[in-house]
Structures are given as C-alpha cells and as structure tokens.
Amino acid sequence: MLNGTEDEEKWLAEGIAGIQHNAFYMHRALDSNNLREALKYSAQMLSELRTSKLSPHKYYELYMRAFDELKRLELFFKDDSKHGVSVVDLYELVQHAGNILPRLYLLCTVGSIYIKSKEAPAKEVLKDLVEMCRGVQHPIRGLFLRSYLAQISRDKLPDIGSEYEGDADTVMDAVDFVLQNFTEMNKLWVRMQHQGPGGVREKREKERSELQDLVGKNLHVLSQIEGVDLEMYKETVLPRVLEQVVNCKDDLAQYYLMDCIIQVFPDEYHLQTLETLLGACPQLQPTVDVKTVLSRLMDRLSNYAASSTDVLPEFLQVEAFSKLSNAIGKVIEAQLDMPAVGAITLYVSLLTFTLRVHPDRLDHVDQVLGACVKKLSNIPKLEDSRAMKQVVALLSAPLEKYNDIVTALTLSNYPRVMDHLDIGTNKLMAMVIIQSIMKNNSCISTADKVEVLFELIKGLIKDIDGADVDELDEEDFKEEQNSVARLIHMLYNDEPEEMLKIICIVRKHTMVGGPKRLPFTVSSLVFSALRLLRQLQGQEGDIVGEEASMTPNKIFQLLTQIIESLSAVPSPELALRLYLQCAEAANGCDIEHVAYEFFTQAFLLYEEEIADSKAQVTAIHLIIGTLQRMNVFGVENRDTLTHKATGYSARLLKKADQCRAVYACSHLFWVDDQDGIKDGERVLLCLKRALRIANAAQQMANVARGSGGPVSLFVEILNKYIYFFEKGNKQITSSAIQGLIELINTEMQSDSTNPDSVADAFLASTLRYIQFQKQKGGVMGEKFESIKL
C-alpha cells in the first residue's frame, strides 16, 4: 500500500496497453470487414475495463480510451453493407460474449444503432438496455457502464419533437428510462460508501465525489428533455427523483443531488413545486448540509425574482416566502446540532430572498430577524466567528437593499439581533450602519429613530461590560469615534422642537461614553446644537413667544453642560475652542451675559488647565480672534476681557510668542466695522509693546547666541503698522512706519553673518506693497507718499 499511486500508474499503463493492443487488431478487423474478429477483439479490449485496481480517476482515463474505440466500432456496426448482418441479428450476436462487462458495452453500442434504425420502438430497446445493465453491480464499473448508456442514448430519446417519438414511444418512456438509469446509478454510487476496498473514509468520499457528476448527468439529461413540462415535472420527475434521494439515506448523495436538482431545473419549476421540494428537506439525513441546499435554492429564486418583475406575481401566488420560512423552521428544529452559523446562514438567504422578492414587505424582514433572534437566544454565547459574519451579513442586507437606515430602524427585531453579537462584531456592525447612513446621505429626522439608532450603535457609544480595553486599536477607535461624530451631523430636523429632542437624546447617549470618546462626540454635538441655535434665529420672527420652552438660553445651558463634561476627560484645549464657539453663537444671539460667561469659562480653562506653552499660544490666539469678533459686550465687560487677553499675551513664555500675541491684541481695539471700537491709542500701545518685546528678544538672542535674533518679528510688526495705517488709525504715522523700516534695515545689516532669506523676502514684499500703494495714487497713495523708502 506504500506506493499505491505508483502501482496504480502501472496498472493504468497496463490497462491502456491492453486496450491499444486489442484496438489495433480490432481496427484491422474493421478494415477487412471481419465482423467475427471485430467482435472478438472489441470484447477483449473492453475486458480491460473489468479491472478493480484503479481509483475512479484513473478508471475514467481508461474508460475514455475505450470510449473512443467504441465510437469507431459503432461506425462499423452502423454500416451493414460492411458486415452484412442485420441490426437485429447483431443485437443478438453481441450478447454471446461470455463476460458481462464487454457484453453490455457492446450491447449498448449496438442498441444505439438499433434505435437509430427504427426497426424496433426506441422504448423497447431502451428498456432492455437499462434492465440488462443491472448485471453490473460493481459500483465503479456499473457507474461507468450506465454513464456510457446515458451518453449514447442522449440523442435518441423519444422526446417531443424528436424523430424517435412515435405512437408507441412517448416522452414518458424517455423520462422513465432516464429516471431508471438515474436510480440505478445513484444506488451504485451510494453503495460505494459501504463496499469496495476497505479504505479510509475520507479517501472513499473523495473518490465518490469524483464520480458525482456521472450521476448528476442524468438529472441534467432530464432537464434537457423538451417534453418535461411543468406538469410532468411536478407529477412524475420531481417526486421520483426525490423519492430516490430521500430513500438512499446517504448524506453525500443527498446533498449533491438536492443541489443538482436545484441547479439543473428551471426556476419556475422550483417555484411551482416549492412545497414538494422543501418537504423533502427535513427527511434528509441529519448530517446533510441542508442549509447550503436551501441557501442555494433561495439564491436561485432571488435571482429569478430579480431577473424580471413579471415573475413576481408567481411568487406571491405560491406564497413562496411562507413556504420557505416554514421549511427553514422545520429544518432548524429537526437538526438540533446544527451549528449556529448554519441556522444564521439560512436566515441570511431567506432574508435576501424576501428582500429581492418582496421589497415592500418589511414585516417579512422583521419576521426573519425575529426567528433569528429566537434561534440566537437559545445559544448562550455566540463565539463562532463565521456565525458572527453571517449575523453581520444578515443585518447588512436590509441596509443595502433599502439604502436607508430609516427603514431598518422600524424593524423591531433589528436591535435584538444586534444584542447577540460580540463586542467587536457589534462595533463592526455599528460601523456598517453608520457608513450606510453616510453613503446614502440619509437624514434621521425623528427623535424616536435617533433613540433606536443609538441603541443599535451603542457598541460605539459606550464601553460595554467585559470589553477588553487593551485590545482596542488606537486607529480603529479613532475611526469609529470619528464616524459617530459624523453621524451626529446626519441627525437633523427642520423643526427646532424635534431637533432639540434629538440633541437631548444624543447627549444622553454620548455622555456615558467615557473620557476617551467624549472629545470626539462632544464637538459634533455642540455644533449640532449651535446649528439649532442658528435655525432658531432664522425662524425667530414667526415663533416669538409661541414656544417658551425653546429659548436660546435653554440651549446655551445645555451647551454649557455638554462642554463641562469634557472636564472629566480632560481635554481643555477642545473645551476652550467650544466655549469660544458658543460665545460667538451667543454673540450672534445678542445675549451678552451668556457670551461673557462662556468667555469666563474659556479664560478659566486657560488659566487652570492649559499649561503647555504651545497650547497656550494657540489658545491665546483663538481667544483673541474670537474676542475681536464679539460685538455684544458693553464697554465694561469688553475691557475686562481684552485686558485679560492682553495680560495673558504678555505672559507667554517665549518672547517671540509674546510679541506675536501682543501685536495680535492690537486688533482687539480696532474692529473694522461700522460701529466697531476704534481705539487708536491702545492699538499703538500694543504695537509699541510688541516692538519692545521684539527688541528684547533680539538682545536676548544676541547675548545668548552672538547672532541676530528674529528680524522677521519686526517685519511682522511693520505689517501691523501698515494695516492700521491703511485703516486710518491716526496714531500710526508714516514717520513711525519709516522709523521702523530703518530699524529693520539696520538690524538686517548688522546681522549679515546670518542672513535670513525668509525675513528678507518678507521685508522685500512688504516694501513692494508700500511702493505699489504709492504708485496707485488716490487717497491711499497720498497717505503712503509720505513714507520714504
């Protein structure tokens, strides 16, 4: 047994040699029209097929050789001018062979000619052949023999419209013949499992699956018979095939044949015989992979339904859904040990089916999901990853179909299915949902739906007990949370009342997200609320007083609470930005004390939480920027705030930062609006202070490094000067600008060791600007005229 394959090769080679040897003599006999010799050598040649030593694969090779030779022999038999024997006599003559296998191969060969000659009714010959073939009970040899019979008889069946159809020969005979051959072949095939050389089970199953197509071929032939119409299929073909399938009690055969039936016969037949076909499923062996069979069936029917809308009424008429649904229920009930993945796969197929066939029947979808929940609830914990995948597929299907999460949200069983996912998968599914929303740009517009939606994606919203936090991948997490943040923007309703509800719900859900999630979600939420605020303002005219519950004040309170939650994170930078945003919104709403409050909060954060100097720089610029745009404040408040801001600016760590912050503060005193504050003196004060700081920075640099400091600071300040000069600040004079230019030039020259090309270019373009303004003439030109370069 060690070199089994080697031996097999040898045996095959011997067999082929035997065939070739005898075929040679057979050809000689054929050429000399010697019938007796031809029969003798063909029988000897066919005797090579009697071997038991070859695996199906190798035997097939041998069979094909013999098959080719038989075709030549058939041509010879056909021409009775060559051998002078009538086909009837020939039919007897070949039966004189002593060995059964050669005898039957020859009989089939002559039989096909016999039918062709029409000297006997086709059905008689066919019946005789299929009966005589019973003599070969060896599985492999029998299968090949009968496969040969099927092959040569294919074009000679008395089908409707065929030349062999006659009074005596009806399509029924053709069907009977094929069915009988099929039954016998299947029996042989099943028997292989229990007979034959004692081998390993896997090996035997492998060998059998190599032969399956020989058996399936018969079903294919049946499907090709024109005369098999729906009626006949329903009354005869299907029941008999199924009877054989069920009775053979062999899992391999049952699986293969069920699949075969589904694949070879037309969809409309399946639809009309659904009950019969499905009725067979619970009768199959428990080890049969019924789920795949049913899935395939449903896939086919789905595709059929999708192919044309004309067929949909048929589906309704036969109540395809309820039949399938029942069948699946029965199968799952019957196969207790079916793994969860199997059951869920079935549900996925059913769902796909109903989505394709009855897209309008949401109740069907919900029903499927409900059944799935029922199944899942019997399983303590779903740990099979494949099952998980199937659940995801199950949940994704409606999303894909309807392109609209809103529809899915109306399915009461949807969240219940999601509950059965493990945490990772749950998140995955939540992501799928969010992506679906994003992709389709669908807007969730009622509070109820939002509630459901957040229930669905709660895996992303908060930590679920038992989740292993360490496992989380930072990138994935960010991705997830960004998605949630994007999602929040999709929740929108034109009706402020409803929108407020939505925001409250979102807030309720996101607030439990914990410190890691809040930074992502809070900003979205804040902006969402701010949008509501703007919305409210837009409508203010119409609804004044009517909705006392909906005041900007209330929203601001809400906002404050939301932002405050960030303190737990803590994420002061973000909170600061959000406060500033709110302040600006309050500004828009013209509510001074609220705006002031927000600024206070921002300043507090700056003072207490923001310690990093870089963050401080950013923060101070933000504060200045926002403050600059505020017009709601009265003088007192504004002074307080600007004073604070300038104070912070001057206390920054690095001189350069100080300088920049200070000159930025100058804008706080010069708002380029109609009724904006225009305090030229304080602007100049700021700029001078900035210059001082720049000077100091320069000196410090000289002392510390022996080289020139940042000349660019001066250029920047120069630009500020020019800005205010242009804007008409009387305190900024052309001479001051000129002085500054000279100062810069001096600095540049002294700092020849370390030329700063950026600063040079900056200065050059600034000077060019002045030149340009001069040349332009007009009021501005005159103003600039006094600056000498």
Which residues of the chain form contacts with other proteins (CB under 8 A)? 50, 92, 95-96, 98-101, 103, 131-132, 134-139, 141-142, 187, 191, 195
C-alpha triplet 671, 674, 676: angle, nearest 5°: 30
Q: Tell the smallest beta-carbon distance from residue 330 to other proteins (Å).
A: 30
Closer residue to other proteins (CB): 195 or 322: 195
| SS3 assignment, position 14 | helix
Closer residue to other proteins (CB): 252 or 457: 252
| SS3 assignment, position 592 | helix
Closer residue to other proteins (CB): 92 or 213: 92
Q: Tell the smallest beta-carbon distance from residue 248 to other proteins (Å).
A: 12
Give dist(CA 93, CA 82) in Å, integer: 16
Report whether 532 contacts 483 (CB < 8 A).
Answer: no
Q: Tell the smallest beta-carbon distance from residue 312 to other proteins (Å).
A: 46
Closer residue to other proteins (CB): 46 or 645: 46
Query: Would you tell me how many other CB atoms lie within 10 Å of the CB of residue 229?
Result: 13
* Phi, psi torsion values for 444, nearest 5 degrees: -95, 120
- Of 568, 577, 475, 572, nearest to 526 by C-alpha is 577
Q: Tell the smallest beta-carbon distance from residue 144 to other proteins (Å).
A: 12
Query: Would you tell me how many other CB atoms lie within 10 Å of the CB of residue 71?
Result: 10
Is residue 730 classed exposed, middle or buried when 0-12, 13-18 and 19+ CB atoms within 10 A define those classes? exposed
- Of 97, 98, 101, 129, nearest to 113 by C-alpha is 129
Q: Exposure string (b/e) for 161-193, b if CB count within 10 Å is 16 or more? A: ebebbeeebbbebbbbbbbbbbbbbbbbbbbbb
Closer residue to other proteins (CB): 142 or 513: 142
Q: Which residues contact 428 (CB under 8 A, 6 or more apart)?
A: 392
Q: Tell the smallest beta-carbon distance from residue 13 to other proteins (Å).
A: 23
- The token duo for 599 is 């600024």
Closer residue to other proteins (CB): 99 or 385: 99
Closer residue to other proteins (CB): 103 or 449: 103
Give dist(CA 54, CA 76) in Å, integer: 30
| SS3 assignment, position 731 | coil
Closer residue to other proteins (CB): 132 or 232: 132
Closer residue to other proteins (CB): 184 or 480: 184
Q: Tokens 């008889």 sit at which residue?
A: 153
Q: Tell the smallest beta-carbon distance from residue 74 to other proteins (Å).
A: 22
C-alpha triplet 746, 747, 753: angle, nearest 5°: 115
Q: Tell the smallest beta-carbon distance from residue 128 to other proteins (Å).
A: 9
Q: Tell the smallest beta-carbon distance from residue 52 to other proteins (Å).
A: 9
Q: Tell the smallest beta-carbon distance from residue 141 to other proteins (Å).
A: 6
Q: Tell the smallest beta-carbon distance from residue 103 to other proteins (Å).
A: 8
- The token duo for 487 is 């999602």
161 backbone φψ class: left, alpha, beta (φ>0; ψ -120 to 50) = left
Q: Please tell me the total number of residues recorded for the chain in this structure.
A: 789
Closer residue to other proteins (CB): 195 or 224: 195
DSSP code string of 316-380: HHTTHHHHHHHHHHHHHHH-TT--HHHHHHHHHHHHHHHHHH-TT-HHHHHHHHHHHHHHHHTSS
Q: Tell the smallest beta-carbon distance from residue 134 to other proteins (Å).
A: 6
Q: Tell the smallest beta-carbon distance from residue 63 to other proteins (Å).
A: 15
DSSP symbol at 444: B
Closer residue to other proteins (CB): 248 or 787: 248
Closer residue to other proteins (CB): 100 or 559: 100
Q: Tell the smallest beta-carbon distance from residue 200 to other proteins (Å).
A: 19
Closer residue to other proteins (CB): 36 or 508: 36
Closer residue to other proteins (CB): 94 or 350: 94
Report whether 132 contacts 107 (CB < 8 A).
Answer: yes
Q: Tell the smallest beta-carbon distance from residue 109 to other proteins (Å).
A: 17
Give dist(CA 234, CA 236) in Å, integer: 6
Closer residue to other proteins (CB): 127 or 389: 127
Closer residue to other proteins (CB): 49 or 697: 49
Cα dihedral 747, 751, 757, 758 sign? negative
Q: Tell the smallest beta-carbon distance from residue 187 to other proteins (Å).
A: 8
Closer residue to other proteins (CB): 139 or 216: 139
Angle between helical axes of 711-727 and 778-785 (0-180°, round to 10):
130
* Phi, psi torsion values for 670, nearest 5 degrees: -145, 90
- Of 55, 63, 3, nearest to 206 by C-alpha is 55
* Phi, psi torsion values for 428, nearest 5 degrees: -55, -45
Type of residue numbered 168: A
Q: Tell the smallest beta-carbon distance from residue 136 to other proteins (Å).
A: 5
Compute CA distances 294 → 106, 280, 323, 356, whole Å. Answer: 42, 11, 12, 16
Q: Tell the smallest beta-carbon distance from residue 207 to other proteins (Å).
A: 16
Give dist(CA 215, CA 189) in Å, integer: 8
- Of 727, 713, 611, nearest to 662 by C-alpha is 713
Give dist(CA 525, CA 535) in Å, integer: 15
